[in-house]
Amino acid sequence: MSILVVAEVSSGKLRKTTLNAVTFARNLAAKRGDTVAIAVLGSSVGDAAKEAAAYAPVHVVDSPALANYVAGTFAKAVADLANAVGATAVAGTSSTFTRDLLPRVAARLGAGMVSEVMAITPDGKFKRPMWAGNVIATVEVRTPKAVFTVRGTEFGPADPLGTPGSVTQANVSVTDDGKAKVVGFAPTVSTRPDLTEAKVVVSGGRGLKDKEGFRILEPLADLFGAAIGATRAVVDAGIVPNDLQVGQTGKVVAPNLYFAIALSGAIQHIAGMKGSKVIVAINKDGEAPIFSVADYGLVADAFKAVPELVEEIRRARS
């Protein structure tokens, strides 16, 4: 029996976040005596398949009908592949891609699905967050097959195998029912690392007021090669793109260092960043809830403190 990890492919390349689900799958496989394989789907994805094979044997479904991601088409291909290779579990690292796709795969397989897995318990159950991470539930899957999205913050990226795995073209026919088509994509243009992959994250809140105000975070982020994040209020106000939202319904991050600047710390935001190793909060309201989770809190006006912080860090490093 095997556990199939669904790879995420972007512009023909394997997304690194795939490797976190490989770790989850290896842990689960070790418990059950299963094997791990990776599913790479798309059009002309040979390079991504080769990259993925460094971590596990790969099954490729390569078809022009998979050039654009459409949930229904991909779900059928993944489920057919899972059946063809005898997979009892399908997993992916939580992202908008896997959240969109994997429930449909579960429906096709008649499988129970667990979202946002944080841990596997010794007796083979799973831990997952509910209520914005204020409750951790233990859940049991009661179907022979199971589908998972897993939190990248809880499972580190997998190491490559000593010898790369095989790459097999899967015998799965792909059909597009034509009911959905992609008619546009407006990419977020950024030179910064992906939020979920960054070692340092600098996040701002409504206290920064507007686009102009938000720019004070740039020099601080530059010092660390950091990703920039934001609260829901900032995203709602159109100050930054939606995929920079950190929180319950946005990205969940756990960097080595997290700067929370001029944000109060609503429970929905804290749910997305409380796993960070070191949290620094700067807010002019000394009562802001963010201080209750921060390792270092500074009660100050961000517009003054942040430029000063940039200067002091430069000095401390020289």
For other proteins, which is the closer residue by CB, 53 or 294?
A: 294
Give the binding range for other proteins (CB under 8 A) out of 21-29, 43-51, 140-148, 206-214.
140-148
Question: β-strands 9-10, 13-14: how paired?
Answer: antiparallel
**Contacts of 162-168 spanning 24+ positions with Cβ under 8 A:** 164/53, 164/54, 165/37, 165/38, 165/53, 165/54, 165/55, 165/56, 165/57, 165/58, 166/53, 166/57, 166/58, 167/49, 167/50, 167/53, 167/57, 167/58, 167/60, 168/57, 168/58, 168/59, 168/60
Helix (H) or strand (E) holding 296: strand 296-299
Residues in contact with other proteins, counted by CB under 8 A, come to a total of 89
Phi, psi of 196 (to 5 degrees): -75, -10
Which two tokens mark 234?
């900032």
Residues 253-272 that bind other proteins (CB under 8 A): 256-257, 266-268
**One-character DSSP codes across 28-95:** HHHHHT-EEEEEEEESS-HHHHHHHTTTS-EEEEE-GGGSS--HHHHHHHHHHHHHHTTEEEEEEESS
Residues 158-187 that bind other proteins (CB under 8 A): 177-187
Residues 233-252 that bind other proteins (CB under 8 A): 235-236, 241-243, 248-249
For other proteins, which is the closer residue by CB, 53 or 302?
A: 302
Residue of 26, 104, 151, 206 that binds other proteins (CB under 8 A): 104
Looking from the CA of 240 toward its CB, the CA atoms found within 13 Å total 26
Residue of 1, 10, 31, 44 that binds other proteins (CB under 8 A): 10
Give the binding range for other proteins (CB under 8 A) out of 39-47, 57-65, 152-160, 308-316.
308-316
Residue of 56, 85, 288, 305 that binds other proteins (CB under 8 A): 305
Q: Does 97 bind other proteins (CB under 8 A)?
A: yes
Residue of 107, 222, 285, 301 that binds other proteins (CB under 8 A): 107
CA distance 95 to 73: 18
Q: Does 274 bind other proteins (CB under 8 A)?
A: yes
Torsion from C-alpha of 164, 169, 175, 181, nearest 10 degrees: 40
Q: Does 316 bind other proteins (CB under 8 A)?
A: yes
Which two tokens mark 101?
């796709």
Give the x/- contact pattern for other proteins in 65-84, rule: CB under 8 A.
Answer: -----xxx--x---------
Residues 25-64 that bind other proteins (CB under 8 A): none
Q: Does 201 bind other proteins (CB under 8 A)?
A: no
CA distance 230 to 214: 9
For other proteins, which is the closer residue by CB, 210 or 312?
A: 312
Q: Does 103 bind other proteins (CB under 8 A)?
A: yes
Q: Does 18 bind other proteins (CB under 8 A)?
A: no
Minimum CB distance to other proteins, residue 162 (Å): 32
Q: Does 131 bind other proteins (CB under 8 A)?
A: yes
For other proteins, which is the closer residue by CB, 163 or 188?
A: 188
CA distance 230 to 201: 10
Minimum CB distance to other proteins, residue 45 (Å): 17
Which two tokens mark 116?
């946002």
For other proteins, which is the closer residue by CB, 77 or 279?
A: 279
For other proteins, which is the closer residue by CB, 148 or 165?
A: 148
